[in-house]
Amino acid sequence: MPEDEVLLRARERAAELGCVPVLPGSGALLRLLAAVTQARSVVEIGTGAGISGVWLLRGMPSDGVLTTIDVEVENQRAAKEAFAEAGFAAKQIRTISGRAMDVLPRLTDAAYDLVLVDADKAEYPAYIEEALRMLRPGGVLAVDNALWHDRVPDPTRRDETTTTIREVSKNLRDDDRVIPALVPSGDGLLLAVRR
């Protein structure tokens, strides 16, 4: 998917900050998911420079609110710049600075339409448990980097991050609270619908 000037400038800021944003194919799929679910209440774990947030907001109805969490204040400043350039109103975005595992427990149970997990890979299992608690029935969980640079499908790759992501996929596959699917778009999106 080609990206417009707003997203290209956000990618430049991401490179300056050392953020690794979603790839265009994953962004397009996130926009589609937000549109299909008519997601009015979305949580993004890992703001980065705002690229995934722009994609999500572009799929959400105009009265939707994106809650985006990042431990780095500089990332959120860059994201706010991207959101403003994309023409989104401040009331559509709630930025929360802090460690996700300090913030997530304070968010409401079964109140969100979509949760994107794209932050510290070592924390993915904990993020996903919180996300499943926060999602309403029919809500969608999206986990970025599910293929982790094509390492996850390679059984010879046994580094900690690859193993964690592989285990997350297996756990969601076996979790009767969700209906999961792995989509090989971008760096892989592991999706799950909350039953």
pLDDT greater than 90 at residue 1: no
Overall average pLDDT of the 165-179 stretch? 97
What are the structural domains of the chain?
A: 5-194 (3.40.50.150)
Supply the mean pLDDT for the chain.
97
pTM of the model: 0.97
pLDDT greater than 80 at residue 185: yes
Q: Interior CA angle at 138 toward 111 and 107, to 5°?
A: 20
Residue 94's pLDDT is what? Answer: 98
Pairwise CA distance, residues 73 & 135, whole Å: 26
Percent of the chain with pLDDT over 90: 99
Tokens 């892989």 found at = 188
The answer to whether 57 and 86 have CB atoms below 8 angstroms apart is yes
Overall average pLDDT of the 140-162 stretch? 96
Overall average pLDDT of the 60-85 stretch? 98
Long-range contacts of 57-61, Cβ-Cβ distance < 8 Å, separation of 24 or more: 57/83, 57/86, 57/88, 57/92, 57/93, 58/31, 58/34, 58/86, 59/30, 59/31, 59/32, 59/33, 59/34, 59/35, 60/34, 60/35, 60/92
pLDDT-based confidence at 95, cuts 50/70/90? very high
pLDDT tens string 28-63: 999 999 999 999 999 999 999 999 999 999 999 999
